[in-house]
Structure formats: structure tokens, C-alpha cells
Amino acid sequence: MSPVPRIPGGERASGWDRPADLEKDPALIPDLASTNVPDELRRQVEDLMSRYPDRHSAAIPALHAAQELHGWCSPEAIEQVAAVMQVTPAYLDSVASFYDMLENHPVGKHSVYVCTNISCSLRGADALLEAVVAAAGDDAEFNVRAFECLGACDIAPMASVDGVYVGPLELSDVPQLLEDTRSGRPVLPAKQLATKLVADPNANSQQFPQHAIEEGSR
């Protein structure tokens, strides 16, 4: 193992555990004029910045927008956002590395978050995750991850497929789930959360049975 890089004084240089060129000076705020930023991304980020009294507040949604475009928070994506927001890439990197949904490495374009927190694991989420991982294999299209509570314990065990919540999932649903995702069809339409009525039998003074289910709450 190579020795940990030290800064003068003997302390570990920050970021020593990640590949970085320590010879280089930290990147400065990129010049917007000389950075190649796609027009749509620039428009999105500028619109986001206008919503807040302080432009820094747009960091998370702006990184989201860049991730949509680039697939992950790549150095290029971060540089483009930094140029529009007029902040350093290091600042955006610090934000991107904190949040679970901002990817620091290239990932598959379809995200499948399987909730493995308490309520879901009580209902078999760990086996479900194994099944999804096994079925997705090394298909580079998928980004299968165990995720902390996604806030849908009523349909446990569940998964969020590109942001669409489906559950309760049986192991036998897994092939269909991946197939639907691959082909761009709605994922397991009958199991989507959006179509579910509230569980409370005392809710709803009138009955809205079939047509409510059909229209969902969209």
C-alpha cells in the first residue's frame, strides 16, 4: 500500500483516500464564457437560482439536473454547474458526496432502490434485494441499490424504480419489474403506489371505489 499523502506539518492531505492529483492546485471557479454548458442545463440552473435569496441554495436541485443529463455527478457535470452558479467545483463535490441520490460514480441509467429498512425487512426485503441483484446480474443498464426507508411501509416490501414506487413485491415479480423497466413500459402497473386507496376504513365519507382506483390520484 502506498503511503498516505501528507501536507506540510504531517497531517493527512484531505481527499487522500480518493484518486486526485495532489500536485495540482484546487480548481477555481470556472469561467462561464469558456466552459461548454448545454443551453438547457444553463437555463434550468439559472431558473433554480432565481428561486432563492442566495444562489447557493440551488446546489442540490442543480446537481440533480446535471445528473439527469450526464448520468452521474461527473467532473464535467460539476464543472458545468459550477460555471453557471459561480462556485468552486470543490464546493459542489462536497455537496454531491453527502447525499445518497447524487451519484459519485458512473451508474446504470435505471435506478432500482430496494428499501431494506425495518418495516420492509420484516416483510422480506432482504430476500427481495438479493433476487433483484441476481436477476439484474451485471446488466449495466441498472443501478440496483439497497436504500433506507423510502416512506412506503404500507406496501412493504417495496422498491422505487426510476422514482415510481411499487409494492408489495413478491420474488416472482422481479423478472417482470426488470423487463418493464428495460422496455420503458409502466412498471408493474397494478402494484404502483399511486393507485392505492388509503387503508383507513373510516376515511372517505362517500365511497369512491372503482373509478377512483382507475384514475388514481393523478
Which residues of this chain interact with other proteins, rule CB under 8 A? 51-61, 63-64, 94-95, 98-102, 113, 117-119, 121-123, 147-156, 160, 163-165, 193-194, 197-206, 208, 211-212, 215, 217-218
User: How far apart, in whole angstroms, are the C-alpha atoms of residue 39 and residue 50?
Assistant: 17
> Is 137 or 197 the residue whose CB approaches other proteins more closely?
197
Least CB distance to other proteins at residue 51 (A): 5
User: Prior bond to 209 cis, omega within 30?
Assistant: no
Question: Burial, 150: exposed, middle or buried (Cβ in 10 Å; 0-12, 13-18, 19+)?
Answer: buried
Q: Which residue number, 2 or 205, has a Cβ lying nearer to other proteins? A: 205
- Smallest distance from the beta carbon of 120 to other proteins, in angstroms? 9
Closest separation in Å from C-beta 23 to other proteins: 27
Q: Using the minimum distance from each CB to other proteins, give the nearer residue, 1 or 203.
A: 203
C-alpha distances out from residue 169 to 134, 142, 147, 206, Å: 16, 18, 15, 30
Select 133 or 153, whichever has its Cβ closest to other proteins: 153
What whole-number distance in Å separates Cα of residue 188 and Cα of residue 186? 6
**Least CB distance to other proteins at residue 178 (A):** 20
Backbone angles phi, psi at 165, to 5 degrees: -85, 130
